[in-house]
């Protein structure tokens, strides 16, 4: 790899960081994003942050109904500053829409976008997997070689 290239840790595609003019390219691998990197790596960079999946799951459970900041904070028990930052990131990534009302006190509603609705299958698959597998650590210990007497 040359300078400016990086290897995606998920799909092992080689991508070139975007140049100052915005022209980046990507080679190899699969599922390259419009930004020139690995699409799944970019998805994990957003959704892998603490509380992101928990927030999106709450919108899945709301079944399309908009949710207010205070309701989310009460349901999820996430500190306000953290919740605000996560909601902002989800809006910027296109997973949520934000609607502010010019009222006193201020009212803001968030709603799932089509992108979030399409995650329903993923959440269903995760729920099925979690139902089949224990999430409690079960150590697997194997002894190789001679056992001291």
- Mean pLDDT of all residues belonging to the chain: 79
Name the CA dihedral angle for 6, 46, 136, 60, rounded to a multiple of 10 degrees.
-150
Please, which residues bridge with residue 111 across strands? Answer: 97
Say which CATH topology domain 48-130 has.
Arc Repressor Mutant, subunit A (1.10.10)
Extents of the domains making up the chain: 5-45, 48-130
* pLDDT (mean) for 75-101: 95
Predicted confidence (pLDDT) per residue in 7-22, tens digit? 555 555 554 444 344 4
Predicted confidence (pLDDT) per residue in 41-61, tens digit? 788 888 889 999 999 999 999
């Amino acid at each position: 790899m040359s300078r400016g290239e990086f290897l995606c840790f998920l799909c092992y595609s080689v991508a070139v960081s975007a140049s100052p003019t915005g022209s980046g390219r990507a080679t190899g691998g699969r599922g390259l994003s419009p930004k020139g990197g690995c699409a799944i790596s970019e998805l994990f960079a957003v959704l892998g942050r603490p509380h992101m999946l928990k927030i999106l799951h709450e919108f899945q459970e709301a079944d399309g109904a908009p949710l207010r900041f205070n309701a989310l904070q009460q349901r999820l028990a996430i500190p306000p500053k953290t919740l605000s930052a996560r909601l902002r990131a989800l809006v910027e990534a296109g997973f949520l829409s934000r609607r502010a009302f010019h009222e006193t006190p201020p009212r803001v509603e968030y709603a799932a976008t089509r992108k979030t609705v399409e995650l329903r299958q993923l959440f269903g698959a995760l729920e099925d997997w979690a139902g089949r597998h224990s999430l409690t650590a079960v150590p697997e210990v194997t002894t190789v070689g001679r056992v001291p007497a």
